[in-house]
Chain A
Amino acid sequence: MMKHILTLAGLSIGAGLMLVSMPDTVAAQQQSTKAQPAATATAPKPAAPAAKPAGPAYKQPMTSWGEPDISGMWPINHLVTTPLQRDPKYGDRAYLTDDEFKAAQTRADAQKKQRASGALPSSESGAAIRQTSLIVDPPNGRFPALTPYGTQLQSKMNSTYKPGKDAEGSYDGIEDFGPWDRCITRGLPVSMEPRNYNNGIRITQSPGYVVITTEMAHEARIVPTTALPKLDPAIKEWLGESRGHWEGNTLIVETTNFNGLTELTSAGVPGSPGPLQPSTVNMKTIERFTRTGPGTMDYSIKVEDPTVLATGSLTVASPMMLDNSYQMFEYACHEGNTAIRHYIETARYAKAHPKPATAAPAGGARGGRGGRGGGGTPPQ
């Protein structure tokens, strides 16, 4: 984050600008006429759940400085019952029939009740949407196959969700964990996808800037919408470097300069094909935000990375719903991330006590103390 701020500040100073408002005339010049990316232009329009159709009478609200106003809290809890990947039984069909939609709502209600334990606390979790999957391109709604290079990268990735990782007990250092385990980031596109908790997304705007704050994991994506020069390709960031512009009422955000260390999917995203889909420094994402009514917004993110995706790209469409009553709590993931230490301790214990590997052991060399601090000592 600090690096991000410093980078922006440096660019601003270099251009004789501060991180404050840009003249309206500059912003107006950014009303780009660039054509829409082909995949998103042809992607089916996602339907938002439980929202009144906007209808032709909907008038896009504008900010006081003349840009489309898309600000507000847009939590995506309502998407957790829609799988990222489409069930193959739907083939290329992107939308549910009326009967299927009704059945999906019934399943969503049941899931909501089941998860009322707190793992999925939001009341919005009972919703269903018309889409058969969040992935809308490729047309079959499936996560694309990896290229041979992608497969090679995949074999070197690590995460606590890596298949077989727990059985191996192979945690011995920080390299055995993924960036999400380490509370660094979920990366893109995953940070914009739903999971079973902390689904808040807040959008704030100021002249020349849009800031997208994700509750998981408390990250602020700063998107300049003015003619800020592109970042030097040598500079790499976990969430990349974004540049935005307006096409009519649609905010288009293009992001490059990724560090290639994040996953393209996450085990926490329902219907995900697997936790370890690699990204590279060649990745580019193109996001589109278009309000469709007082409480709804179409959102899509196209991920381009031909080095790992056999199809070259994929597009996820996930309609957002405005809920300014949703409270986003700080998710300061690092503050007590005991998992890293505990997993390494557990793995080393398993190595030292191979028989029986899963029996409840005595304290032994560990003294039977609680993991962190032990004996009631406050954590240091």
Chain B
Amino acid sequence: MRNRLINIAAIVGVLLVTTLPLLAHHSFAAEFDGSRTVTLEGKVVKLEMVNPHSWLHLDVTKPDGTVEHWMAEGGSPGVLLRLGWNRDTLPAGTKVKVTGAPAKDGNFRLNTRSIEFADGKKLSMGGSNPDAEQPK
């Protein structure tokens, strides 16, 4: 528990956020902690464009060389398609920085607020996160 907290603390920024009532298929707050923010830098493993919400899988290499597998929740495939996403938007191996609200139970899941590429471009993943950034 303690080591895990330290590890997460290395990549987690904590801040208070305001929320807007953007409601998803189910309540956001039951699973994710909207008062906290996790920022991950890793490589895309795969993108699951599944309903009701999509999942982006990424491997995050920690300073000690070990790898954590994270899942980032986004909008439904319909939402992503209307935003211009397709199956090639995030190919495996792409380096991304993902920011979002972490799971309350400590599993390696977060609800995505924004995705940023190595060149600084940002991408919205839609979804239920009340603070999802606008696409750049």
Chain B minimum-CB-distance residue to A116: B134
Stretch at the interface among A44-52, A146-154, A231-239, A327-335: A327-335
Check B71–A372 contact: CB distance below 8 A: yes
Stretch at the interface among A61-69, A255-263, A305-313, A345-353: A345-353
* Residues of B with C-beta under 8 A to A358: 33, 35-36, 104
Q: Which residues of A pack against B, CB within 8 Å?
A: 113-122, 159-161, 165-166, 171, 177, 180-181, 183, 195-198, 215, 267-268, 327-339, 342-343, 345-347, 349-350, 358-364, 366, 368-372, 374-376, 379
Check A196–B23 contact: CB distance below 8 A: yes
The proximity string for B residues 19-54 relative to A, scoring 1 for CB distances below 8 Å and 0 otherwise, is 010111111011101011000000001001011110
Check B31–A346 contact: CB distance below 8 A: yes
Tally of A-B Cβ pairs under 8 angstroms: 188
Distance, CA A10 to CA B134, complexed state (A):
51
Chain B minimum-CB-distance residue to A345: B105
Listed from nearest, the 6 A-B pairs whose CB atoms lie closest are A118-B126, A362-B4, A336-B50, A361-B106, A160-B27, A362-B1
Nearest chain B CB to A191 CB, angstrom units: 13
20 residue pairs bridging A and B, Cβ less than 8 Å apart: A116-B134, A118-B83, A118-B125, A119-B126, A121-B79, A121-B126, A159-B27, A268-B23, A328-B78, A329-B78, A331-B78, A337-B52, A345-B105, A345-B107, A362-B1, A362-B2, A363-B4, A368-B4, A370-B69, A376-B59
Count of B residues near A, CB < 8 Å?
Answer: 59
Chain A minimum-CB-distance residue to B12: A360
Nearest chain B CB to A201 CB, angstrom units: 14
Check B57–A361 contact: CB distance below 8 A: no
Nearest chain B CB to A149 CB, angstrom units: 27
Q: A118-B80, A376-B59, A376-B69 are in contact. Are A368 and B108 (CB under 8 A)?
A: yes
* Residues of B with C-beta under 8 A to A332: 51
* Residues of A with C-beta under 8 A to B99: none
Known A333-B25, A336-B55; further 12 A-B contacts with Cβ < 8 A? A117-B132, A117-B134, A119-B22, A119-B128, A121-B82, A161-B26, A197-B126, A358-B33, A360-B5, A362-B106, A364-B106, A370-B70
Check B126–A342 contact: CB distance below 8 A: no
Check B22–A361 contact: CB distance below 8 A: no
Check A362–B83 contact: CB distance below 8 A: no
Distance, CA A375 to CA B4, complexed state (A):
16
* Residues of A with C-beta under 8 A to B106: 349, 360-364, 366, 368
* Residues of B with C-beta under 8 A to A181: 25-26
Query: Does B100 make an interface contact (CB < 8 A)?
Result: no
Query: Does B91 make an interface contact (CB < 8 A)?
Result: no
Nearest chain A CB to B13 CB, angstrom units: 12
Check B105–A366 contact: CB distance below 8 A: yes
Nearest chain B CB to A214 CB, angstrom units: 13
Distance, CA A250 to CA B127, complexed state (A):
37
Check A368–B107 contact: CB distance below 8 A: yes
Check B26–A160 contact: CB distance below 8 A: yes
Identify which of B5, B51, B109 gathers the most chain A CB atoms within 10 Å of its CB.
B51
Chain B minimum-CB-distance residue to A379: B48
Of A171, A327, A369, the residue contacting B108 (CB under 8 A) is: A369
Nearest chain B CB to A129 CB, angstrom units: 20
Taking CB atoms and an 8 Å cut-off, the chain B residues in 100-131 that contact chain A are 102-109, 124-128
